[in-house]
Chains A and B, each alone.
Chain A
Amino acid sequence: MTVNQLSATSTDPALQVSDLCVDVDTPAGRIRLLDGVSLSVRSGERLAVVGESGSGKSVMARSILRLDDSFHLSGSIKVDGTELVGLPERRMERLRGSKVGMVFQDPLGALNPLCTIGEQVTEPLRVRGVRRPEAERAAIAILGELGVAKAAQRMRAYPHEFSGGMRQRVVLAMALIAEPDLLIADEPTTALDVRVQEQVIDLLHEVSTERDLAVILITHDLGIVAGFAERVAVMYAGRKIQDDAVGRLFAEPAHPYARGLIEAVPRLDQKMQRLVGIPGVPPHPGARPSGCAYHPRCPHRMEQCEVEVPRENPLATGGLVACHLYPADRSAQ
């Protein structure tokens, strides 16, 4: 392999989503859940996707793995150079787990109560034809790496014998054992208590660094985002409205919605003030406002906002924002 090729592969993003739209058919007609989202994650990069419930975070995650047959996808999803939109289900099956891993919200539900931990952690390897002893060695190694004490003995335990935090480690081991390049964590800490949340997030951080693993963390907990991610994508009503480095986003959020989100987080390090919420509720996917979907709630709305969907423009400070307050020509100066 030449130096050129090497550098080409290392700059290739682990995930490249371009102009992804997701539609779903309902009795009331076709509803657009995701509207032209573009996103890329480099290997080893930690991206947080934040937004209110219904903003399309989970829809995006599930679409990347093509988990719902009822979703109609258009646009492009490339994982490690392979186009997933339109890929036959057979090949998709092979790709799940080996290229993209995923962990869910509820670590108790994520484990089969009738199978031992060992059976479940080895399964991603076993379905790919790895023999049992070899798969078991790999499972013990990865469980140990993820901080499960006495991993070899615990292989024979059943899920109910594990605590919540331990179960999330097991789930993580299942997601990582086939060595994917990308891990999607869909609110992995919501069901856990605060101390365990921190452990799991630290663990994710560690794993990402050690394995050069791209991680997409989907959450609505901005407190977690600050300590974990390098970059944050903010979603609203099926669109990505801002995409910026975590420090910048928290210091000077450009989009009015992002500003509202960050101001709504209670802080311990500042003098007690009245907590500011965002007035109104997020729109239903079937009845999204025209133009910028945020305009009915936005304190800075202009006439233009009601008719024209803002395009994503680069900010002068770096990062991207989709808002008419930041037109392309001004921010490019």
Chain B
Amino acid sequence: MTQTATATAAAPRVRPWRRPLKRLVQVRGVDRVVGIMAICLVLLALVGPYLAPHDILASNISAASLPPGSGHLLGTDEQGRDVLSRVLAGARLSILGSMAVVVGFSIIGVLVAALATIGGSVVDEVLMRITDAGLAVPSMVLSLALSAALGPSLRSAMIAMVVTGWPYTARLLRTIMRETMTLPFVEGARILGVSRRRLMFKHVIPNSLDVLIVKWAGDVGNTILVLGALSFLGVGAQPPSVEWGAMIASAQAYVSTAWWAAFTPGMAITITAVTFGLLGESLQLRLNPEVRRHAARSGGSQ
């Protein structure tokens, strides 16, 4: 008896996340390429600034607007700064910034959804009307206004995007959690005397998050676009900080003479947004059994 008990205690605890991860490693084809690209982009965001071959801030007017080649692989911008170096370094703010925004509004969204689910009909009604109001206003316009009001900076833009982003997550998650609440094991746990709060955190939220994982990837792609747009419009990252949207903004005046200075960060944004968008789609296919079954039926799975 004692022996068996110690055996249990000593054994490693297997986390449920390991199974989906293992499944992802076995992925082939387009999904695999997308997955590898997404991982590379995240790595780039982490180490990008250290890969830059040239100083990213030092301007050199005598080397301004040099075309690609000529010692600078992707040319230089209007101040003579190496475009390749700046795009590599900019990955940090663009990608990690977007991820932070997504994590931020996801947490708020999940908490709002959880409260709406267990808080009774009045709480639910109030929270969902606030959510609806958030959904009704175009998020791009609202974050533009908010960020401008807070004083243009990358931080303001990120705060504005968290504030405008959570209603989408809250709406989606509330529906999913409602569904999860009706699953027999949730009721079963209630019958065994589990309190509502523990019910939420132990049983309902973990069993609703698979939907969110899918949404995260797509959200990151979308957020990179919006963050870039905000910076481009001047309410996001300010010069001299290196952010892709801000780079396009400062290079656009010289686009007729040095198109590469605007084109390169533009391509970086496009590639990143498309990669995370596709990642979201392939995760959707792999983690959401309903869609997966549909894909298998129509012969779309590989």
Residues of A that sit less than 8 Å from B by CB:
65, 67, 93-98, 101-102, 104-106, 109-116, 118, 123-124, 127-128, 133, 136-137, 140-141, 151-153, 155-156, 158, 171, 174-175, 178
Contact = CB atoms under 8 A, between A and B. Distances in A.
B8 A96 contact: no
Contact of A111 (B1, B7, B185, B194): B185
Contacts of B240: none
A102 B188 CA distance: 8
B194 A114 contact: no
Residue among B4, B7, B190 with the highest chain A CB neighbour number at 10 A:
B4
A21 B11 CA distance: 51
B193 A93 contact: yes
B291 to A, nearest CB: 18
Contacts of B5: 133, 136-137, 140, 152
B130 to A, nearest CB: 24
Interface in B192-221: 192-195, 198, 202-203, 206-207
B4 A65 contact: no
Contacts of A123: 189, 192, 194, 202
A152 B4 CA distance: 6
A104 B7 CA distance: 31
Contacts of A110: 184-185, 188
11 contacts: A93-B195, A97-B191, A104-B187, A105-B184, A115-B16, A124-B192, A127-B195, A133-B9, A137-B1, A171-B188, A175-B191
Given A96-B193, A109-B185, A136-B5, 9 more contacts: A95-B193, A112-B186, A115-B202, A115-B203, A123-B189, A123-B202, A127-B192, A133-B5, A178-B193
B14 interface: yes
B112 to A, nearest CB: 22
A233 to B, nearest CB: 21
A109 B8 contact: no
A171 to B, nearest CB: 7
Given A104-B184, A113-B207, A96 B9 contact: no
Given A104-B184, A112-B185, A137-B1, A152 B7 contact: yes
Interface SS of chain B: helix, strand, loop or mixed?
helix
B190 A67 contact: yes
A128 B185 contact: no
A98 B207 contact: no
A140 B8 contact: yes
B28 interface: no
Contacts of B4: 140, 151-152
B13 interface: yes
Contact of B183 (A102, A109, A174, A178): A109
A97 B206 CA distance: 23
A114 B16 contact: yes
B187 A94 contact: no
Nearest to B209: A114
B86 to A, nearest CB: 44
Given A110-B185, A114-B206, A156 B191 contact: no
Nearest to A104: B184
A96 B185 contact: no
A128 B193 contact: yes
Interface string B90-107: 000000000000000000
A105 B206 CA distance: 24
Contacts of B7: 152-153
Residue among A109, A112, A116, A171 with the highest chain B CB neighbour number at 10 A:
A112
A102 B194 CA distance: 13
A174 B192 contact: yes
A65 B1 CA distance: 34
B8 A65 contact: no
A113 B203 CA distance: 9
Nearest to B187: A67
Contacts of B188: 102, 104, 110-111, 171, 174
Interface in B1-34: 1, 4-5, 7-9, 11, 13-14, 16
B183 A97 contact: no
Nearest to B120: A69
Contact of B11 (A67, A137, A140, A156): A156
Contact of B8 (A93, A106, A156): A156
A134 to B, nearest CB: 9
B13 A156 contact: yes
Contacts of A106: 184
A175 B8 contact: no
Contacts of B1: 137, 140-141
B191 A67 contact: yes
Contacts of B11: 156
Q: Which 5 interchain pairs have the tightest Cβ spacing?
A: A152-B4, A97-B193, A109-B184, A97-B192, A124-B192
Contacts of A101: 191-192
Nearest to A118: B8
A204 to B, nearest CB: 17
B193 A94 contact: yes
Residue among B186, B191, B203 with the highest chain A CB neighbour number at 10 A:
B191
A155 B202 contact: no
Residue among A93, A95, A178 with the highest chain B CB neighbour number at 10 A:
A93
A17 B189 CA distance: 24
